[in-house]
Structure 1
Amino acid sequence: MNSQTVLTLGSEAVTLLLMVSLPVLGAVLVVGLVVSIFQAITQINENTLSFLPKLVVAVLVFALAGPWMLATLVDYLRRMIESIPSMVQ
């Protein structure tokens, strides 16, 4: 295994990590921004008001995108395990 292979595997892993985490992080970011704007407009400073909607949206996104996320991660892991013999040579 040379350094180019290690860099390629690392780059692929980081890209996969970003791709899988983006739906949840994006949805929570948008909801957090909307709740923050609402709190600024109404001058309500309640921590639960910002936490609960983000939690609900994160659970919904995991419920909707979870199968795709899991399938993507399992496929990547399967490819990595199958490529071990060719890397050891």
Structure 2
Amino acid sequence: MIRAGYSPSVRLFEAACGTPIISDRFFRLDTIFEFGTEILIADRSDDILRYLQEIPENEIIAIDDRARTRVLSQHTAAYRAAQLEGYILQMVTFLT
């Protein structure tokens, strides 16, 4: 992923396990999680305080649940292995 221009921390995926993710903004984060529904973005420290003070607890839990669902469906080792296998099969098909 570094070669593609971004390399998110593994901690980003570990975080989706009972606590909502609040992250700074970085290139292509929106390809990993949907802003506002699966991850909260803090451009300033005030954003973090606003999230903690203004978002109801049931919505915080829902955000984390959606992030966890995304991680378990699209960001596991098994999912990545299947993706790699698909890319290899595409290349083999293309080259033959």
- Give the TM-score range, shorter chain: 0.3 to 0.5
Structure number having the greater strand percentage: 2
| TM-score normalised over the length of structure 1 | 0.38
Larger radius of gyration: 1
